[in-house]
């Protein structure tokens, strides 16, 4: 169901985020490079922005603007075609681990446990909400019911109303840290994964986090997950070097992509995203981006 089709290389350090964009996608890595990859030319990757001594951990990608979070807690507003407009903001302490765009705003979460809402047009913070005494590692958005989910290094999940950031629900999830989050397209379920190597499906239709099912997903930390556009499948990436495909309805394991048999990653897999219903891209500590073809049959 997942078959490796292409390998893209060029980064000099671990890859921590992948984001689709138009006819291609972007990768963000600890080498301080943001690279744009073209779908039709697998040998061509263009460095479109860089930050000196910056280690990129998170990314929001738009046609004319990239917003990147770094290990030192900075947010960098980068304009590849107009670098004189670039803006560098020191904000979070101990890392900007997660970024998410919702319409004309951007959310960031960092090592200070603070969730910040930013004006996309003005590149300024609008409000900050202390969520946890520990790092915020992942933010996910449900456009159906306009809700944000936040996973933290206190092992808890937090659910908020996006409009006013009012709290809806919280629950212990993955001790000691939540790393991966994703809503189902219909907004009825939230999927999470973390350092305990497990994955959980939560019912969230009524605005409360209700545990529905948990499985041991990997041998080590679940670093990221991505729900397929159809909502029927999801992929997970792990420190155990594997990528796995799951059925969302019952969390049945459908495919394991590993080093020898599938020519997968040789180190921790840190990031993944669906480019469309037929293509998954993954990246990790081996500094490579792998492209996987998906077939549901």
Domains of the chain (ranges, CATH numbers): 2-294 (2.130.10.10)
Q: pLDDT tens per residue, the chain (297 residues)?
A: 999 999 999 999 999 999 999 889 999 999 999 999 998 887 789 999 998 878 999 999 998 999 999 999 999 999 999 999 999 999 998 999 999 999 999 999 999 999 999 999 999 999 999 999 999 999 999 999 999 999 999 999 999 999 999 999 999 999 999 999 999 999 999 999 999 999 999 999 999 999 999 999 999 999 999 999 999 999 999 999 999 999 999 999 999 999 999 999 999 999 999 999 999 999 999 999 999 999 987
Looking at the DSSP bridge assignments, the partners of residue 56 are 70
Whether cis (ω within 30° of 0) applies to the bond prior to 176 is yes
Cα–Cα distance between 79 and 287 in angstroms, integer?
Answer: 24
Nearest to 73 by CA among 51, 86, 50, 89: 89
Judge contact between 108 and 116, C-beta under 8 A: yes
Burial 241-267 (b: 16+ CB within 10 A, else e): bbbbbbebeebeeebebeeeebebbee
Within 10 angstroms of residue 44's Cβ, the number of other Cβ atoms is 12
Cα-based distances in Å from 48 to 66, 77, 180, 221, 257: 9, 13, 27, 31, 30
Residue 124, judged by CB atoms within 10 A of its CB (0-12, 13-18, 19+), counts as exposed
pTM for the predicted model, two decimal places: 0.97
């Amino acid at each position: 169901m997942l078959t490796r089709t292409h390998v893209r290389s060029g980064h000099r350090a671990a890859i921590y985020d992948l984001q689709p964009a138009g006819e291609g996608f972007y990768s963000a890595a600890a080498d301080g490079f943001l690279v744009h990859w073209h779908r039709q030319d697998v040998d061509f990757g263009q460095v479109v922005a860089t930050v000196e001594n910056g280690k990129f951990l998170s990314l929001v990608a738009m046609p004319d603007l990239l917003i990147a979070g770094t290990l030192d807690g900075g947010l960098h507003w980068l304009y590849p075609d107009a670098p004189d407009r670039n803006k560098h903001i020191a904000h979070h302490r101990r890392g900007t681990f997660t970024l998410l765009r919702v319409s004309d705003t951007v959310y960031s979460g960092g090592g200070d446990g603070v969730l910040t809402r930013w004006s996309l047009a003005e590149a300024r913070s609008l409000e900050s909400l202390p969520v946890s005494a520990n790092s915020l590692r992942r933010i996910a958005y449900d456009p159906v019911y306009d809700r944000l989910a936040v996973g933290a290094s206190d092992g808890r999940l937090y659910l908020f109303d996006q409009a006013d950031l009012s709290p809806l629900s919280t629950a212990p999830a993955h001790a000691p840290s939540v790393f991966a989050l994703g809503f189902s397209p219909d907004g009825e379920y939230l999927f999470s994964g973390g350092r305990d190597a497990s994955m959980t499906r939560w019912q969230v239709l009524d605005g409360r986090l209700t545990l529905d099912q948990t499985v041991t997903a990997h041998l080590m930390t679940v670093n990221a997950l991505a729900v397929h556009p159809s909502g029927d499948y999801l992929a997970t990436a792990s420190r155990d070097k594997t990528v796995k495909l799951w059925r969302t309805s019952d969390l049945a394991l459908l495919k394991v992509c590993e080093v020898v048999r599938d020519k997968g990653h040789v180190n921790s897999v840190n990031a993944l995203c669906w480019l469309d219903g037929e293509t998954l891209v993954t990246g990790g500590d081996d500094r490579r981006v792998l492209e996987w073809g998906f077939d549901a049959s």
